[in-house]
A and B are shown apart, each in its own frame.
Chain A
């Protein structure tokens, strides 16, 4: 269970050369039941798709047991689509080299 105030989201970045890589990462959580607090249970084996600025598919990864995913992209605007049993979420992000985009994506 993650709770309000936990640092977002994706896998540990040690070992990733952020001066060279443009990272988009995060964690997929399933919301708690209407408790009004942004918490949730990690969703493993959700499918996370990366679409480019034209909406073209670029990559897809399954989340790990912690619900985490990571892409090595290029600077620019990207769309993240999450597919899991009974759920679909879409998030637009802007990626830059040197500073990773780190997301929490909640499935409803």
Chain B
């Protein structure tokens, strides 16, 4: 992957609004914003309702993913353009998901919904009615997904990148500051993890920093690009954003998203935990 085939600009979006091979998808944890206005022709995915199993804690099955994409009018050869609020966190999570199930051409809108709005671009309330397809997903690519035992084994061995805010990393806060601080798990971080907040990879307007800046960001924080890397956050969506930066923009091999993240790790009995900066 590289910048050119994983990211599109808002200008590109305007030029491709009527492109029949492109499907735009707004992805977020709260899709009421979509209901009030979205990029013309875009459909919506709800992070929990559409992309979580619901019964067990896991991504949806291959069959459910195929059904979701089929009813959304997405074919195997469709160019899927994802965007969302929250600085593209959930869009990046969905991107990781599309890669997990082997979709060929999926990209993010650089800057997401925020840049689109700050630029004063048009939003539509019209909800499209997609023509159903028969999407065929590949088996899950587990090489981009880390599980808890692998994280524990990676302590002091592989790069572990904690992409949460410094206050969550140190143990001061249990959740991002726009959420109530009442999470059940203990506070802190995985020992030897480097705290490189996802936000450091983004400009204020939500666009990604340049590859030169990104490379310097991770290297100066002590990430060895020759080693495997595991990124985590609280529930796996901010770390999908940083996974996107490392794996897709910087084109590094062996980068995994630990989607269990702190809500799983911080609830495990007996695992090592560190606190402080």
Chain A, 65-84, contact with B by CB distance < 8 Å: what is the 0/1 string? 00000111110000001011
A66 to B178, CA, bound (A): 17
Flag whether B180 is at the interface (Cβ < 8 A).
Answer: yes
Chain A, 37-77, contact with B by CB distance < 8 Å: what is the 0/1 string? 00000000101011010101111111000000011111000
A92 to chain B, nearest CB (A): 16
A66 to B154, CA, bound (A): 47
Pair A52/B167 contact, Cβ less than 8 Å? yes
A72 touches which of B33, B86, B179, B205 (Cβ 8 Å): B179
A70 to B204, CA, bound (A): 19
Residues of A within 8 A of B166 (CB): 52, 54, 56
Residues A59 and B176 in contact in the complex (CB < 8 Å), given A45-B33, A74-B167, A81-B204: yes
- Of A49, A54, A58, most buried by chain B (CB within 10 Å of CB) is A58
Residue of A nearest to B89 (CB): A60
Residues A83 and B118 in contact in the complex (CB < 8 Å), given A56-B165, A57-B197, A58-B167: yes
Pair A21/B118 contact, Cβ less than 8 Å? no
Residues of B within 8 A of A50 (CB): 177-178
Pair B114/A83 contact, Cβ less than 8 Å? yes
Residues of B within 8 A of A73 (CB): 177
A73 to B199, CA, bound (A): 17
B255 to chain A, nearest CB (A): 22
A16 to B118, CA, bound (A): 31
Instruction: Tell me the residues in window 83-100 of chain A with beta carbons closer than 8 Å to chain B beta carbons.
Output: 83-86
A81 to chain B, nearest CB (A): 7
A45 to chain B, nearest CB (A): 6
Pair B199/A57 contact, Cβ less than 8 Å? yes
Residue of A nearest to B198 (CB): A57
Residues of A within 8 A of B181 (CB): 20-21, 72
Pair A62/B33 contact, Cβ less than 8 Å? yes
Pair B117/A74 contact, Cβ less than 8 Å? no
| A/B pair count, beta carbons within 8 Å | 64
Chain B, 153-182, contact with A by CB distance < 8 Å: what is the 0/1 string? 000000000000111000011001111110
Task: Sort chain B's interface into a size bin.
Answer: 20 to 34
Flag whether B184 is at the interface (Cβ < 8 A).
Answer: no
Residues A60 and B178 in contact in the complex (CB < 8 Å), given A47-B114, A74-B172: yes
Pair A56/B197 contact, Cβ less than 8 Å? yes
A21 to B179, CA, bound (A): 10
A59 to B33, CA, bound (A): 18
Flag whether B85 is at the interface (Cβ < 8 A).
Answer: yes
Chain B, 169-209, contact with A by CB distance < 8 Å: what is the 0/1 string? 00011001111110000000000000001011000110000
Residues of A within 8 A of B85 (CB): 62
B45 to chain A, nearest CB (A): 18
A39 to chain B, nearest CB (A): 23
Residues of B within 8 A of A85 (CB): 117-120
Pair A83/B119 contact, Cβ less than 8 Å? no
Flag whether B87 is at the interface (Cβ < 8 A).
Answer: yes
Pair A59/B177 contact, Cβ less than 8 Å? yes
Instruction: Tell me the residues in window 247-264 of chain B with beta carbons closer than 8 Å to chain A beta carbons.
Output: none
A11 to chain B, nearest CB (A): 12
* Chain A residues engaging chain B, CB cutoff 8 angstroms: 16, 20-21, 45, 47, 49-50, 52, 54, 56-62, 70-74, 81, 83-86
Given contacts A62-B33, A72-B180, 14 further A-B contacts (CB under 8 A): A21-B181, A45-B33, A47-B118, A50-B177, A52-B166, A58-B167, A59-B178, A60-B178, A62-B85, A71-B177, A71-B178, A73-B177, A83-B118, A84-B117
